């Protein structure tokens, strides 16, 4: 195999659509014989006749480097490697490195008779493959996430057939596949033998449309029939019959949209074969700078989705794929960008059926050339033109019949150049029914909509009003200014965060030009090691890697939701619910683009500390798409909600089961509260120094609350840095990351000095000075402890004595003995919230164990803050402690902040036998600086005078 050839693979058939056929197909997935070689040079030249008796076994499809294969494959089989931008080999196109692992695959299969026609289809081989069948060399493959089909009529035979595949991990094609993910070679999608009938239907292109003006569907079916014969066309449900290449106008059809994914079965038949496909009548257009489906402006509430499995690598089983999509629908996600390659075809069948808008993205990324100023970038080198066009054709031809695909994307982060422009031209010539996307075309010369990554809120606001800075070329500027705008990536969901989701969505809703965007990204790419822990870049000994940047998702690698997914659900809610301040009405604003709210019931609940006080269902007419309705709350609700200490919640829930969620699934909610002062727990009186509080007379530090020992009471201005704290914000790229600025100030190594202890009759004032070791930016902390019956009020005053600085938080931290059995609180919950996150947290009475209050991030970091607290009770054994106030935050963990910051993997966090608490009166937001803008100004914590109060009690 010539691994330095930049051209497409050899010997394959022209690409066609994937169709459901009456013809026989033989699935060749399963355990294959497998052997591994460290380099191409070490691979013996014995194929295809090699004996496989000494080979091991490996499941197909899967990636051969995965640790999960250790149990069934003896010996070395390589290891995963993660890079984001940089290539793991020198940039010397088109040559791959000598350090190039090879995997040899083999299997046999039986056929009862020799078929008249046969094809062998590989849905995806990551790497560069050469294929033999019964000793005959069929050809080669390039394009890791694209199908390749070989004609095998002359090679296949009745009886036993021997199939052999050699895959090299790297080739010239690897320069086009520098996506932000693990390098995971292997046969990663299914292998199928297709028995093809004489006169069969080899390809179908169902060109559909919808005319919103008169509610008519349009259909033209083009097909490739073997031998050039005729074929019939029918839509049985509509009683429509026709022939190929006929323009049909069909009145009364229901249009397809992500909100109402109406599909019809199209049948194309010849005398020897019947194929069927599910089609949707829909149109995609750009009018007046607005992206429209069926003539209606749409709002994309999307995510970027890679294909990843922690045990199988690039292979995602069908049942898990379905579960992913159900989880997305449950969290109000309506769109997917297939970052950064065409997905498994099962995904598109499901997005058609369940209802998602899809950007189908070509398998092209040359991001690493950006590190050498795009010199010799394949996107602008004629040598690579055929490879670019080949990848475009294989994507479009396979996926052209899917109504969920509303946009074709040329690829991702591949610079600019003539080859991308040629792709766009070819796609328009083949399918002009969908606009073309490519984020890297900043001047929008060959795309149909303007796309950006991680633009700041200010930039998005300017674009929404068409007041963005002009391009130098006035014609191009006018061309781009007339386009819709989309954030193909934003709100980098890495670790704790992202912040600013609500502010982005508010901008999208405010300006028709803004079509919405896609969160980066759906799931983390952790790889499970033998001990069950999750690995990231560098954990497999890679010399070149990008660390935990691959751990950035709304769900874990096992598809467990992270807290930010709950926030996103609230931000993406298709209806907005607002309870009036006077508690007499509720307004319901529909953000659906097509359907009304007849599928939703509006339920109200009034709760107090004692539980549910009253509940019911609102009698309301459905709200039309993009309309607002004001509904009176019933007298029972108004009466109950008006009492002190009540929270009223109005929820929109499914009336009936849906394909992705059961009846009663909550879509959106709104709240109002009459809680002013948090109810107290039972107090335990004791003759302590200041109410239930005892101070250390030598240091003035808190020593005990009732019988509960307190240790390490101190001012806290630092937090264990989040991934976003460690990132250099695109909006502050002249400054170090905020975590580095905190470290420079020594916030992680604060040292205190007692200034004075002033004892009065009912209070004691303790003043200390605190600063980072080796720094002179001091802070004065004044704690006034006042006895009030069976509780103690703590008034805290923090005053900086130096120049302006930035802090991570303003709070007090301490630890309690043993592990608290439970935390109970009134405030936001049940999940965490920070100043610029927590949209999914609601006001109420919540409880949880300490382990439930922590977030199991693969790379440990600050997380788990519960905010908006009026009351917090921590209990363990017979005694506990209670804190109450006018709105504070609390983090409760079984390890210290220092331990959390020092850990690089989750399994390093082991309880030290105490419960560590931080009570926060102010916090810095989290932003999205791991990739994108920093914290919005409103959520930044600049040093200054801070005052807060909290009441402390001991409880039984």
Q: What is the pLDDT of residues 247-278, one digit of tens each?
A: 999 999 999 999 999 999 999 999 999 999 99
CA–CA distance from 827 to each of 480, 648, 651, 676, 872 (Å)?
46, 14, 18, 12, 9
- Please say if the pLDDT value at position 10 is more than 80: yes
Closest CA to 597 of 623, 567, 579, 575: 623
Closest CA to 328 of 498, 575, 506, 569: 569
Over its C-alpha atoms, the chain yields an Rg (Å, rounded) of: 31
305 vs 699, higher pLDDT:
305
What does the pLDDT average to over 233-237?
97
Q: What is the pLDDT of residues 97-141, one digit of tens each?
A: 999 999 999 999 999 999 999 999 999 999 999 999 999 999 999
3-class secondary-structure state, position 541: coil
Looking at every residue in the chain, the average pLDDT score rounds to: 96
Contact 821, 875 (CB under 8 A): yes
Determine the Cα–Cα distance for residues 771 and 801; give it in Å rounded to an integer: 10
Pairing of strands 335-337, 300-304: parallel
What does the pLDDT average to over 226-239?
95
Q: Can you point out the beta strands (E) in 865-934?
A: 866-876, 879-893, 914-923
Residue environment code for 661-676, b if the CB has 16+ CB neighbours within 10 A, otherwise e: beeeebbbbbbbbebe
Determine the Cα–Cα distance for residues 256 and 730; give it in Å rounded to an integer: 39
Residue 680 — very low, low, confident or very high, per pLDDT cuts 50/70/90? very low
Q: What is the pLDDT of residues 476-520, one digit of tens each?
A: 999 999 999 999 999 999 999 999 999 999 999 999 999 999 999
Token duo for residue 263: 């599909």
Q: What does the pLDDT read at residue 1?
A: 64
- Residue 112 burial class via C-beta count within 10 angstroms: exposed 0-12, middle 13-18, buried 19 and up: exposed
Q: What is the pLDDT of residues 46-58, one digit of tens each?
A: 999 999 999 999 9
What does the pLDDT average to over 663-687?
71
**Percent of residues, the chain, with pLDDT higher than 90:** 95
Q: What does the pLDDT read at residue 277?
A: 97
Determine the Cα–Cα distance for residues 823 and 854; give it in Å rounded to an integer: 12
Contact 518, 334 (CB under 8 A): no
Q: What is the pLDDT of residues 166-207, one digit of tens each?
A: 999 999 999 999 999 999 999 999 999 999 999 999 999 999
What does the pLDDT average to over 791-812?
94
Q: Can you point out the beta strands (E) in 184-305?
A: 186-187, 191-195, 201-211, 216-225, 232-235, 240-243, 247-251, 264-269, 274-279, 284-287, 290-293, 296-297, 300-304
User: Cβ atoms within 10 A of the Cβ of 639, count?
Assistant: 14
To the nearest 10 degrees (0 to 180), the angle between helices 563-571 and 501-510 is: 20
- Please say if the pLDDT value at position 589 is more than 70: yes
Chain centroid to CA 464: 24
CA–CA distance from 690 to each of 619, 791, 871 (Å)?
54, 8, 20
Strand partners, 880: 875, 955
- Please say if the pLDDT value at position 605 is more than 80: yes
Determine the Cα–Cα distance for residues 718 and 923; give it in Å rounded to an integer: 9
Q: What does the pLDDT read at residue 761?
A: 81
Determine the Cα–Cα distance for residues 472 and 645; give it in Å rounded to an integer: 60
Determine the Cα–Cα distance for residues 826 and 571; give it in Å rounded to an integer: 23
Q: What is the pLDDT of residues 528-574, one digit of tens each?
A: 999 999 999 999 999 999 999 999 999 999 999 999 999 999 999 99
Token duo for residue 373: 């100023």
Residue 818 — very low, low, confident or very high, per pLDDT cuts 50/70/90? confident
Determine the Cα–Cα distance for residues 573 and 658; give it in Å rounded to an integer: 17
Q: What does the pLDDT read at residue 788?
A: 86
Chain centroid to CA 176: 24
Residue 459 — very low, low, confident or very high, per pLDDT cuts 50/70/90? very high
Q: Which residues contact 53 (CB under 8 A, 6 or more apart)?
A: none
> Of 177, 190, 365, 413, which residue is the catalytic one?
413
What does the pLDDT average to over 666-689?
67
Q: What does the pLDDT read at residue 677?
A: 61
Strand partners, 300: 516
Question: HSE-up of 613 (CA within 13 Å, CB side)?
Answer: 19
Phi-psi region of 891 (alpha: psi -120 to 50; beta: other; left: phi over 0): beta
Please work out, in degrees rounded to the nearest 5, the angle formed at the alpha carbon of residue 349 by the alpha carbons of 344 and 351. 95
What does the pLDDT average to over 705-718?
95
CA–CA distance from 553 to each of 347, 466, 548, 849, 856 (Å)?
19, 32, 11, 25, 13
> Of 349, 361, 489, 716, which residue is the catalytic one?
489
Asked if 489 is an active-site residue, the reply is: yes
- Please say if the pLDDT value at position 685 is more than 50: no
- Please say if the pLDDT value at position 735 is more than 90: yes
Residue the block writes with tokens 């239907």: 201
Secondary element (H or E) of residue 823: strand 822-829
Contact 415, 380 (CB under 8 A): yes
Please work out, in degrees rounded to the nearest 5, the angle formed at the alpha carbon of residue 750 by the alpha carbons of 931 and 914. 85
Q: What does the pLDDT read at residue 878?
A: 67
- Please say if the pLDDT value at position 686 is more than 60: no
- Please say if the pLDDT value at position 366 is more than 50: yes
């Amino acid at each position: 195999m010539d691994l330095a050839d930049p051209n497409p693979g050899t010997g394959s058939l022209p690409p066609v659509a994937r169709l459901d056929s009456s013809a026989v197909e033989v699935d060749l997935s399963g355990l294959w014989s497998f052997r591994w070689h460290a380099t191409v040079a070490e691979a013996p030249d014995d194929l295809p006749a090699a004996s496989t008796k000494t080979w091991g076994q490996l499941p197909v499809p899967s990636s051969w480097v995965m640790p999960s294969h250790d149990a069934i494959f003896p010996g070395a089989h390589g290891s995963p490697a993660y890079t984001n931008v940089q290539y793991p080999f020198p940039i010397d196109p088109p040559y791959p490195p000598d350090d190039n692992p090879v995997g040899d695959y083999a299997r046999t299969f039986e056929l009862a008779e020799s078929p008249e026609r046969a094809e062998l289809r590989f849905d995806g081989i990551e790497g560069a493959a050469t294929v033999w069948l019964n000793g005959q060399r069929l050809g080669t493959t390039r394009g890791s996430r694209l199908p390749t089909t070989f004609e095998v009529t002359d090679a296949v035979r009745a009886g036993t057939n021997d199939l052999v595949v050699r895959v090299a991990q790297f080739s010239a094609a690897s320069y086009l596949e520098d996506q932000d993910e693990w390098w995971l070679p292997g046969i990663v999608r299914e292998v199928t033998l297709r028995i093809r009938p004489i006169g069969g239907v080899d390809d179908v292109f169902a060109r559909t449309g919808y005319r919103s003006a008169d509610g008519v569907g349009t259909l033209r079916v083009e097909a490739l029939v073997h031998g050039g014969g005729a074929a019939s066309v029918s839509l049985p449900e509509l009683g429509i019959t026709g022939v190929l290449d006929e323009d049909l106008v069909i009145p009364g059809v229901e249009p397809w949209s992500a909100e109402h994914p109406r599909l019809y079965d199209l049948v194309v038949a010849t005398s020897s074969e019947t194929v069927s496909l599910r089609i949707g009548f829909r149109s995609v257009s750009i009018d007046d700078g607005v992206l429209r489906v069926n003539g209606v402006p749409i709002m994309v509430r999307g995510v970027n989705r890679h294909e990843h499995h922690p045990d199988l690598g690039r292979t995602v089983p069908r049942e898990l794929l379905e579960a992913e999509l159900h989880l997305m629908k449950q969290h109000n996600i309506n769109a997917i960008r297939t970052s950064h390659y065409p997905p498994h075809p099962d995904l598109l069948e499901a997005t058609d059926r369940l209802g998602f808008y899809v950007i189908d993205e070509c398998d092209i990324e040359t991001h690493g050339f950006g590190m050498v100023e795009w010199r010799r970038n394949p996107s602008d080198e004629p040598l690579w033109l055929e490879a670019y066009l080949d990848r475009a054709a294989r994507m479009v031809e396979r996926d052209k019949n899917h109504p969920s695909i509303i946009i074709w994307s040329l690829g991702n982060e591949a610079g600019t150049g003539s080859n991308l422009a040629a792709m766009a031209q070819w796609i328009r010539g083949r399918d002009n029914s969908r606009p073309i996307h490519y984020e890297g075309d900043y001047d929008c010369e060959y795309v149909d909509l303007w796309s950006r990554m991680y633009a700041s809120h200010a930039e998005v606001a300017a674009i929404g009003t068409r007041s963005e800075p002009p391009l130098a070329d006035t014609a191009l500027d006018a061309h781009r200014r007339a386009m819709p705008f989309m954030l193909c990536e934003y709100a980098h969901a890495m670790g704790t965060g992202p912040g600013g989701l609500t502010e982005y969505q508010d901008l999208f809703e405010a300006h028709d030009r803004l079509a919405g965007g896609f969160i980066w990204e759906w799931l983390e790419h952790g790889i499970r090691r033998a001990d069950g822990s999750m690995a990231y870049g560098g954990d497999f000994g890679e010399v070149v890697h990008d660390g935990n940047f691959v751990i950035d998702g709304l769900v874990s690698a096992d598809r467990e939701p992270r807290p930010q997914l709950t926030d996103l659900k609230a931000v993406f809610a298709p209806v907005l619910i607002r309870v009036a301040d006077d508690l007499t009405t509720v307004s319901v604003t529909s953000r659906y683009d097509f359907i009304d709210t007849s599928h939703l019931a509006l339920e109200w609940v009034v709760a107090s500390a004692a539980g549910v006080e009253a509940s019911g269902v609102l009698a309301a007419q459905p709200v039309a798409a993009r309309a607002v309705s004001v509904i009176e709350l019933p007298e029972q609700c108004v009466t109950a909600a008006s009492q002190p200490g009540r929270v009223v919640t109005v929820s929109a829930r499914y009336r009936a089961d849906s394909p992705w969620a059961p009846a009663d699934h909550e879509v959106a909610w709104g709240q109002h509260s009459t809680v002013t002062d948090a109810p107290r727990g039972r107090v335990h009186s004791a003759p302590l120094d200041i109410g239930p509080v005892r101070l250390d007379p030598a240091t003035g530090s808190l020593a005990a609350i009732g019988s509960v020992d307190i240790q390490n009471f101190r001012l806290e201005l630092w937090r264990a840095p989040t991934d976003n704290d460690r990132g250099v914000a695109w909006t502050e790229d002249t400054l170090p990351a905020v975590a580095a600025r905190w470290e420079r100030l020594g916030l992680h190594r604060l040292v205190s000095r007692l200034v004075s202890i002033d004892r009065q009759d009912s209070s004691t004032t303790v003043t200390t000075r605190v600063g980072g070791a080796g720094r002179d930016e001091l802070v004065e902390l004044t704690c006034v402890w006042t006895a009030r019956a069976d509780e103690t009020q703590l008034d805290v005053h923090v005053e900086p004595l130096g120049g302006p600085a930035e802090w991570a938080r303003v709070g007090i931290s301490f630890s309690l003995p043993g592990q608290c059995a439970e935390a109970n609180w009134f405030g936001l919950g049940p999940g965490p919230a920070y100043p610029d996150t927590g949209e999914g947290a609601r006001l109420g009475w919540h409880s949880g164990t300490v382990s439930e209050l922590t977030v199991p991030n693969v790379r440990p970091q600050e997380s788990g803050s519960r905010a908006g607290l009026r009351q917090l009770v921590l209990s363990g054994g017979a005694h506990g402690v209670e804190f109450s106030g006018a709105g504070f935050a609390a983090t409760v963990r079984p390890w210290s902040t220092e331990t959390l910051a020092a850990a690089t993997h989750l399994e390093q966090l082991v309880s030290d036998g105490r419960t560590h608490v931080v009570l926060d009166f102010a916090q810095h937001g989290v932003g999205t600086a791991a990739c994108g803008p920093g914290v919005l100004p409103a959520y930044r914590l600049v040093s200054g005078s801070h005052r807060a109060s909290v009441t402390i009690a001991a409880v039984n």
